[in-house]
Structure 1
Amino acid sequence: MYMRIKRIIDIILSLTGMIILSPIFVILIVGLKIDSKGPVLFKQKRVGINKTHFNILKFRTMRIDTPKDTPTHLLSNSEQYITRMGSLLRKTSLDELPQIWNIFIGQMSIIGPRPSLWNQFDLIAERDKYNANDVPPGLTGWAQINGRDELPIDVKAKLDGEYAEKISFRMDVKCFFGTILNVVMGDGVVEGGTGSKTEVASSKETISK
C-alpha cells in the first residue's frame, strides 16, 4: 500500500521541484557551458528496480575525455577529470538535480538505494543478499545519510537492505531531512576514494530507533 502512496508523492514532489527549481537549472546550464566544452547533461546506464537498466541523468561534472562507465573512485587521480564547475556541483550535490526527471517518469524514487552502475557487479551481488535490488533506486537513501562515498561496498549494501526491509513513510522522511543536513555539512564526499568508513552501521544500523 505504501509503495503506491510513495509513487504519488514522487510525482507531486518531482513536478513541483522542476517548476520551482527551473531558475537554478538555467543558472547551472549557463555556468556549465561557460566552464567547459561538452554537453550539459550526462547520461549513464544504471541499475533500476529488479535489476532493469535505465539512463540516469546528471549535470556533467567531468571532462569529455574521462574514461566511460568507470566510477570516480576507480579513476587514478580523478580530480584531473573534474571541471571547476563540476567540483562545486559535486560538493553541493546539485549535479543530481536532473534526476528529478528520472523520478517523474518512474525510473527512480526520491528515496531509495542509489542506483549502481550496470557494471558494478560486486555491489549488485551484495545488494541481492539483502533484496535491495527489489525496490526503486533513489536520489538519496539510508546509505547516503550514513556515509555516502565513504562506505565500503558490503556496508553500503547492508544499509540499502535495511531500507528495503523497513521501507516506510517515516523512513523516507528521515532520509530526506538527513540528506539536507549532510549536504549543508558537506559530509561523506570522497573524490577518488571509497571505503574509509568501516564501522558506520555499528551505531545506526537499527532503523527503528
Structure 2
Amino acid sequence: MNGVHDMGGMHGFGPIEREANEPRFHHDWERRVFAIRVASPIPIPGGSRHNIEQMTPTDYLNTSYYEKWLQSRLKGFVDAGVITAEELEARMAEFRDNPNAQVPRRAAPEQVAATMTRLLSWNSPRREVDITPRFVVGNAVQVCNIHPPNHTRLPRYVRGKPGVVARYYGTYDLQDTMPEGVETPVEPLYAVRFDGRVLWGDAADANSVVYLDMWESYLQSV
C-alpha cells in the first residue's frame, strides 16, 4: 500500500532524536496499550499494521508510536464486533467529563503468567518446507515495481531498482497482509544489497550501500 506511512527515503522530517537512557515507556498509558496489544485474544480483521495504514495522513504524522497502536486496536475491536463505535464514544466521553476517574482494573494472574511466558520464549519463524529458491547469493536481481493494495514490507523507494542477492535466509511466512480467505504463503527470504547511488543518485554518500530483507515474490531476474 502506498501512503504517508511508507517513509523510507523521504525527506523533510528532520533528524531522529536519540534520548539518553530512554525508558521503555514514557507514560503509564503506554504500558496499558502495550498490554492490550500483546494480551488481547481478539484477532484484528485486516491486521494491526493495515489498520495503522488506514489512518489519515494528518493523524498518522501527528500521533506517537503507541497512539498508533491504540488507534489500530480500537478500530480492530469495532471491526471485530467486540464493541460498537457508539459504546466507544460514550466511554471516551465519560473520561473526558471526569478526567480523574479511576480506570477499571481486573486481576487475571493466569493470563498474565501465560502472556509473560509467551513474551519471554522464542520460536524461530523459519518454516521447514520443501521449496527450491529461485536465486542464490551473487545473483543480480531487480525489485518488482508493484503496488499491493494492503500492507506490504516492500519499501516504495526500492521498487524497480537493481540489486544483488547477498544472503539466503530460508523460507518464511510472507508478512504482507493477504485478502480475506487467502492463506499466508511461505516464500524464500533473501538479503539484497543495493548501491546507494542507485537508490539516491549523486546525493548518496560515496560507497554507501543498503541491505534489505526481501521475499522472493518481490524480486525478478535481471
Q: Same fold (TM over 0.5)?
A: no
TM-score when normalising by structure 1? 0.25
Higher-Rg structure is 2
Higher share of residues assigned helix: 1
TM-score when normalising by structure 2? 0.24
Q: Which has the higher contact order (CA 8 A, sep 6+)?
A: 1
Higher share of residues assigned strand: 2
